[in-house]
Structure 1
Amino acid sequence: MARAETGRAGTGHSRRASRGGERRFLTPRKLLGTFFGLCLLGMGGLFVIYLMVPVPSANAQAEMQSNVYKYSDGTVLARTGEVNREIVGLDQIPKDVQHTFVAAENKTFYKDAGVDIKGTARGLFNTLSGKGKQGGSTITQQYVKNYYLNQDRTVTRKLKELVISLKVDQRKSKSEILAGYVNTSYYGRGAYGIQAAAQAYYGVDASKLNVAQGAYLAALLQAPNQYDWAQGGATGRKLATARWNYVLDNMVEQRWLDASTRSGLTFPVPREPKAAHGLEGQTGYLVEAADDELARRGVDKADIDAGGWTITLNIDRKRQERLEKAVDDQLESKLDRKNNKTDATVQAGATSVDPGTGRVVALYGGRSATEHWISNATRADYQPASTFKPIVLTSALENGSETQDGRAIGLGTVYDGTSERPVVGSDIPFAPQNEDGRDYGKIDVQRAMNDSVNSVFAQMVVDVGPAAVKRTALGLGMPDQNFPATPAITLGTMNASTWDMAGVYATLDHHGRKVTPSILKSATHKDRTVDLPDPVGDQVIDRESADTVTRALQGVVDNGSGREADTTAYDAAGKTGTSENNRSAWFAGYTPELTTVVALFGESPKDGGGQVTLTGTANSGRANGGGFPARIWADYTRGALNGGSDATFDLDVPQPLPTAPVTPPTASSPPGSPSEQPSRSPSPESPADPPSVTPTRPPSPTPSESSGSSPSIEPPPDGGGEQPPEPGGSPSGEPDVGQGPLTGR
């Protein structure tokens, strides 16, 4: 009995001793020590993490930008790239707009160390407990998340964000961090960064935002889609308005906004969403031309594709619209592409240049860049035909060339205009046909230019020398490709684009100063600005030579094959051209203020393409340069000059020479047959009849007569001079049925 009691007593003592031991172990001092120990351990761990976690390179998404293309007036033409972002410096964002973001997201931004410990702890707890979205991040932390990390909701990513934010705050200024934040954040409507957002919601650049608009964009960052005025519904609008007020009230609290100004602000309702600018229509052609020129200025294609460029074009938006309308009115409205096989092959291209500055102010690349990938404005796979003849005359004047019998070549110089007349003085036989085999007999150069007489310019290119003519052409801006120095070049048998020919004719228009067409007004990137040379260069031909050619081309418009381009609305000069087999038709012309080249190309719609004839276009017979191209040119030029212009050519040309009689042209026919062509009055600038003129249809030249030329003559190439079209499209009113291949008109 005693033992039992003793045992019980012993047990009670043991329990009391145990409780006392626990009390002695969990003393306040020990608890405090444990707490500090854990804190030190945590701090040590954070310090290790701080040392081990580097500041990484920017993630690929953060640096992706769109390229922004603008018209010359600054309005946006297009944006390209996977991400709609254009990074802008903080100096391009108004100060009060900067403050709206700080007021919305992180009022202590300018004072804190880049992190919010309490907010970060709360975010970690929410993540671990599965309560959803993290919260409490500073602007620095959000910038780090956007720029260096990703949007993953993990503890690891949150710890990295904390460490990197501390380091970034030490290494970067607050301005750099804020700029990075507003440029990397997503605002909805596919807009990344404040510049894209300003355009998407208010149609202005970030530099033009006011404080009310800035407050709305800052409010959007909390819930971009829900707060979008156009798609958030009544609830979304209510929340957006409340958030907007919250931002402005915080600005007043921080003394960034005067209370009286705040009270006068009304909610800035954003505009309705618009589809992103695509590359359909002419846009794709314009963007391609700008990119190509940027590449010629030394920017790698990879750098362009990487984005971040703001590229302003010289394209005048109104003139561009006028050119598109002229093509639609004068060509497309007349075509039946679905049911007419010829109409289905027609491609139109044009380039328009300000000759005083070299700026490309309008360009037509085709029906749509999404339907026809090749730009008809810049393609150089068709022959420019007789638009090359003025270059032959230019070279003759510039080199002081003479005819075979020693007469100086000028507008009044008389040549033999007989069709298929073998040239004299060439080692390479050449005897081109005039259009429809017309014989012109004695004809001066002005008249030969008006009617595009092949036989005259074939002899002229021999008189000047093909090599000399080629040098002149290259100096004027013709591309050095597929360009043999032979007599046949007088028919424009090399390849060239409307862009190339616009440069050549603009140089003539600018009195002989070299004009290199340029579509770029400026090209800037956050890392560089491209240095663009002046499109107008040095004098490449004498002014008198250039102006004399202009005088000749005025005759083409006034009295020759280019009469469809004539109007009292402006002073004009120009030249028609139609290539072999009617595969291309051109009109290159200019006024004192505008140089424009329009061309039609016959292109097979079958796979692989290929050049085909334009004859039969819109059921109007031969589609020569004096038809559709000249009409498009005239319609566009009138509109581009706002209905017309009083400007006249300021020409430095020699005084006109005495008039000389010329032989009326005749159709090719047996000797003695009467002419079927009406007599035409002689050119007012023709000189007195020279002492000797090469006779009509001379016999094949002997070696002595041709200065060493072979007595044998190669078969003549097809071709002929170009006549102005009559109503209905057929030149000179003659039927087009049964016409053979035609070259160089």
Structure 2
Amino acid sequence: MGRADDRRARQRGGRRAAPKNRSSRAEAPPTHSRPASPAEETPPAATATATAAAGGRAAARRGAKKGAKAGKADRSLIRRMFTWKKVLGTFLGVSLLTIGAFIVLYVTTPIPDTANAEAQLQSNVYKFSDGTLLARDGKLNRENVDLADVPKAVQRTFVAAENKSFYDDAGVDLRGTARGVLNTLMGKGAQGGSTITQQYVKNYYLTQEQTVTRKLKELVISLKLDQEESKEYILAGYINTSYYGRGAYGIQAAAQAYYRVDADKLTVAQGAYLAALLQAPSQYDWTSATPTGKRLVQQRWNYVLNNMVEEKWLGQSERAGMKFPIPKEPKPAPGMQGQVGYLVNAANGELEKQLVAQGVAANAKEAEAMVNAGGWNITLNIDKKKQKALEASVKEQLTDKLDPKKRSVDADVQAGAASVDPKTGAVVAMYGGVDYVKHYVNNATRADYQPASTFKPVILAAALDKGAKTQDGDQITANTVYDGTSKRPVKGSDIGFAPENEDERDYGDVTVQTAMNKSINSVFAQMGVDVGMDEVLKTASDLGMNTKDLKAVPAQTLGTMGASPLQMAGVYATLDNHGRKVTPTLIKSAQNSAHSVQPADGVGEQVIDRKAADSVTSVLTGVVDDGTAKLSVRDNPLRKGQKVAGKTGTSDFNRSAWFTGYTPDLVTSVGLFGESAKPPHAQVPLTGATNGLKGDDGRVNGGTFPAEIWAGYTFGVSTKVSKFDLETDQGAAVQQPPSPSPSPSKSDEPSQEPSSEPPTSSAPPKSPSPSQSPTTQEPSQSPTTAEPSQSPTTEDPPTTEDPANPLDPQLGSGTGQ
């Protein structure tokens, strides 16, 4: 065969006959060959090298092939293990098991024959600290009504609020339930998404506990109930068992509690409000709601009505003409007369917070429902003797002197007080108002009035604790000198502020001690800037005030925020307790058949340095002995040498007057509030109440009725004379005030003439004498003369405050007392 034939033969059959790899082909001799010519012969060395190279390539190919085979084997194993048949089979198996388990649960879970224990409400029992009975609150305010007695449009407000698909669903929201089960397993607490049927089942048949078992039972019973009962039956049960706040269970009780009408007389707008309430009864009660709560409930009300329009249950034009229906004033439950209702209500509020804090309840709504379900035995920290003494002091020093028939302003005077043990935080006495059934709001816990100059010790505490310095670089102490000129612009602030002093009085250069005694606004406004207003507010928060939404502006130095007597008692108790945080606690113990709730910890960590706290206490003794409280407290015949520290306060337009004071063993804050006796109960001046004091313009200052109530109570319950244990070298308690002297370096009062005489070595860093003569009459050093706050005046001090917005921290100023 010729070469061409041989080549064609190889081309025709070569591929079939080709060896499996190049190495074998290189080793095998060709079938047909011709003798090589001498020129074509390959040298032996070259042949060996080529052979070795070919062998290496072959070994590499064999290794690669083995790796490929191993990888292929692994993939084959995965394919064999996870075939689509096996995956599908597993899924079907799990699904069948789940379905089977659900079927078993469905078959074995009947609709209960009776309501749950919480639905069958019991009494709550409240006791004084000694175990004697204070009150029993257990009369259930519920009256079931037929659904036919509720207007159809009002019925639909609840459907629009909670479950728009109610009339078409099968009683459950599987997606919402699955989400709730998952969140429960993940520890995220209660979640929304339940249908009206599910909520009714939970409220009436089951409990409020957040467990997977309860949620699955809720699902099964809801499915069965939807099959066995009509939608009307379920909706009637829902609106008749839900809690609406104000102690009202069911729509009939709610209609009476909020609008003084029966359920059949409710309007759509009123029904939408009641439906909105169910989301957060306490937070959304218009009478006691915060500004945030009022905003949220209005948003919820609009949401309900808009849903009704969307479902074509309400016409757009009718919806457009609706106005928010403001509820009427609450009517307290029978048996809550006098101070009992205030104490019970405050105890319930504290218990609800503890239930949430300790994880017993998932949220405030659930906690409120648990407390109102009853069965609680609650012992308060209230000392029966001290409670009686506080009530008697308010009556003797104030209410017996009020005569609304002679003076209309006397009807506008509201008093509130809270008394705290600084060593434990226990609230031992509380005065909420003249009578719970006459005035529903608790004046001891309300925080809508300015604390005014009772905030000044907080500024000093911040200065001493932070080691703050003046604009001149001097360390701030009780002896540091400030310019007490009225309307003096503060220095070092980007926000201009020039507060006036009480009666526009100029004091010139004064020490911090004198400024506290006389409650000089201009001094503490500058001190707040020197410390830094953000640091001042942080200290206020550490001491127990609510500063969450406050702006760090100089006007806050005058106490233009809101505060309650209970809060201020806690602040001063922390000072009395040498800087360790004191949180007023009303509950001593609380338990029912299922839970035992631990009371809040009344004493916490050190929030300000002890020396700083003790220095403030030392300074505050000067307010009592040589300041705005000396007439009512220092010279009180019941004092008998008892050591006292405290501060007065009188807010702008005389809308509130305060005295918060303490002995080593007891802290009490007393506030008087001007509240119009007529709706809408706006804040009004106290001026003229009981005709004021002789020789003044009728203003009610902190050194008058509040201090008198404080002294009558505190000195009446004191069993022994005690002294402060202070670790400080400054302030009136440890330093005698300078005696009157011609030398300007030793005078705490403004001099008649300017003086350039240098201070002596014992004087403060800067002479406390003014750089110029004061523009008004000098304050007297005689302890029997009237204080500057009692100087005659014909009008309130000028202010930029908007009377309609007394709590705006950037507007207005306290009058200084």
TM range (shorter): 0.5 to 0.7
Partner of 2:648: 576
Letter in 2 for 1:592: P
Partner of 2:420: 353
Q: Separation in 2 of the partners of 1:692 and 1:619?
A: 37
Partner of 1:650: 725
Cα deviation for residue 489 of structure 1 reads: 1.1
Cα deviation for residue 638 of structure 1 reads: 1.2
The structure 2 residue matched to 1:309, chosen from 353, 356, 376, is 376
Partner of 2:766: 690
Partner of 2:158: none
Q: Number of matched residues?
A: 469
Letter in 2 for 1:690: K
* Match status 1:321 vs 2:388: yes
Question: Structure 1's 366 and 332: CA in aligned 2 closer, same or farther, altered over 3 A?
Answer: same
For the residue of structure 1 that corresponds to 2:492, the secondary structure is coil
The structure 1 residue matched to 2:664, chosen from 556, 580, 592, is 592
Q: Separation in 2 of the partners of 1:684 and 1:58?
A: 84
* Match status 1:562 vs 2:629: yes
Aligned 8 A contact 2:480 2:764 in 1: no
Aligned 8 A contact 2:488 2:499 in 1: yes
Question: Structure 1's 468 and 337: CA in aligned 2 closer, same or farther, altered over 3 A?
Answer: same
Q: Separation in 1 of the partners of 2:618 and 2:438?
A: 41
Q: Superposed, which structure 2 residues align to 1:60-459 within 5 Å?
A: 63-82=120-139, 278-297=335-354, 298=356, 299=361, 300-459=367-526
Letter in 2 for 1:633: W
Q: Separation in 2 of the partners of 1:421 and 1:55?
A: 74
Q: Superposed, which structure 2 residues align to 1:490-505 within 5 Å?
A: 490-505=557-572
Question: Structure 1's 335 and 482: CA in aligned 2 closer, same or farther, altered over 3 A?
Answer: farther
Aligned 8 A contact 1:434 1:721 in 2: no
Q: Separation in 2 of the partners of 1:724 and 1:283?
A: 45
Letter in 2 for 1:664: E
Summarize deviations over 1:62-110 as a string: whole Å, max 9, x none: 94310001100111111112269xxxxxxxxxxxxxxxxxxxxxxxxxx
Partner of 1:126: none
For the residue of structure 1 that corresponds to 2:408, the secondary structure is coil
Q: Separation in 2 of the partners of 1:324 and 1:685?
A: 51
Cα deviation for residue 725 of structure 1 reads: 13
* Match status 1:613 vs 2:685: yes
Q: Separation in 1 of the partners of 2:627 and 2:651?
A: 18
Aligned 8 A contact 2:578 2:613 in 1: yes
Question: Structure 1's 724 and 530: CA in aligned 2 closer, same or farther, altered over 3 A?
Answer: farther
For the residue of structure 1 that corresponds to 2:746, the secondary structure is coil
The structure 1 residue matched to 2:701, chosen from 600, 603, 624, is 624
Question: Structure 1's 686 and 482: CA in aligned 2 closer, same or farther, altered over 3 A?
Answer: farther
Question: Structure 1's 62 and 446: CA in aligned 2 closer, same or farther, altered over 3 A?
Answer: closer
Q: Separation in 2 of the partners of 1:282 and 1:517?
A: 18
Question: Structure 1's 61 and 436: CA in aligned 2 closer, same or farther, altered over 3 A?
Answer: closer
For the residue of structure 2 that corresponds to 1:391, the secondary structure is helix
The structure 2 residue matched to 1:637, chosen from 709, 714, 721, is 714
Q: Under a length normalisation based on structure 2, what TM-score does the superposition of the two structures give?
A: 0.54
Aligned 8 A contact 1:585 1:601 in 2: yes
Cα deviation for residue 430 of structure 1 reads: 1.0
Partner of 1:531: 598
Q: Separation in 2 of the partners of 1:557 and 1:450?
A: 8
Letter in 1 for 2:348: D
Q: Separation in 2 of the partners of 1:661 and 1:723?
A: 16
Q: Separation in 2 of the partners of 1:454 and 1:548?
A: 20
Aligned 8 A contact 1:432 1:458 in 2: yes
Question: Structure 1's 684 and 333: CA in aligned 2 closer, same or farther, altered over 3 A?
Answer: farther
Aligned 8 A contact 1:443 1:662 in 2: no
Partner of 1:180: none
Summarize deviations over 1:534-565 as a string: whole Å, max 9, x none: 21001100100000000000000011001112
Q: Superposed, which structure 2 residues align to 1:664-675 within 5 Å?
A: 664-665=749-750
Aligned 8 A contact 2:748 2:769 in 1: no
Cα deviation for residue 57 of structure 1 reads: 3.9
Cα deviation for residue 736 of structure 1 reads: 4.3
Q: Separation in 1 of the partners of 2:623 and 2:764?
A: 22
Q: Separation in 2 of the partners of 1:277 and 1:373?
A: 13
Question: Structure 1's 512 and 80: CA in aligned 2 closer, same or farther, altered over 3 A?
Answer: same
Q: Separation in 2 of the partners of 1:278 and 1:628?
A: 30
For the residue of structure 2 that corresponds to 1:77, the secondary structure is strand
Cα deviation for residue 726 of structure 1 reads: 9.8
The structure 2 residue matched to 1:485, chosen from 529, 552, 559, is 552
Question: Structure 1's 325 and 428: CA in aligned 2 closer, same or farther, altered over 3 A?
Answer: same
Question: Structure 1's 461 and 305: CA in aligned 2 closer, same or farther, altered over 3 A?
Answer: same
For the residue of structure 1 that corresponds to 2:550, the secondary structure is coil
Q: Separation in 2 of the partners of 1:630 and 1:556?
A: 12
Q: Separation in 1 of the partners of 2:618 and 2:118?
A: 59
Cα deviation for residue 318 of structure 1 reads: 0.6
Question: Structure 1's 386 and 435: CA in aligned 2 closer, same or farther, altered over 3 A?
Answer: same
Q: Separation in 1 of the partners of 2:656 and 2:575?
A: 23
Cα deviation for residue 484 of structure 1 reads: 1.6
Cα deviation for residue 744 of structure 1 reads: 3.8
Name whichever of 473-482 and 420-429 sits farther off: 473-482
Question: Structure 1's 417 and 684: CA in aligned 2 closer, same or farther, altered over 3 A?
Answer: farther
Q: Separation in 1 of the partners of 2:541 and 2:488?
A: 28
For the residue of structure 2 that corresponds to 1:342, the secondary structure is helix
Aligned 8 A contact 1:293 1:520 in 2: yes
For the residue of structure 2 that corresponds to 1:73, the secondary structure is coil
Partner of 1:516: 583
Q: Separation in 2 of the partners of 1:319 and 1:57?
A: 46
RMSD of aligned alpha carbons: 3.4
Aligned 8 A contact 2:415 2:443 in 1: yes
For the residue of structure 1 that corresponds to 2:424, the secondary structure is coil
Aligned 8 A contact 1:586 1:597 in 2: yes
Q: Separation in 1 of the partners of 2:782 and 2:138?
A: 47
Q: Separation in 1 of the partners of 2:761 and 2:587?
A: 42
Question: Structure 1's 561 and 371: CA in aligned 2 closer, same or farther, altered over 3 A?
Answer: same
Question: Structure 1's 691 and 349: CA in aligned 2 closer, same or farther, altered over 3 A?
Answer: closer
Letter in 2 for 1:340: R
Structure 1, unmatched stretches of 5+, are: 1-50, 85-147, 149-275, 667-671, 676-682, 699-719
Q: Which has the higher contact order (CA 8 A, sep 6+)?
A: 1
- Give aligned-pair identity as a percent: 54
Partner of 2:17: none
Summarize deviations over 1:150-171 as a string: whole Å, max 9, x none: xxxxxxxxxxxxxxxxxxxxxx
Structure 2, unmatched stretches of 5+, are: 1-107, 142-204, 206-332, 362-366, 693-697, 739-744, 799-813
For the residue of structure 2 that corresponds to 1:474, the secondary structure is helix
For the residue of structure 2 that corresponds to 1:329, the secondary structure is helix
Aligned 8 A contact 1:435 1:721 in 2: no
Q: Under a length normalisation based on structure 1, what TM-score does the superposition of the two structures give?
A: 0.59
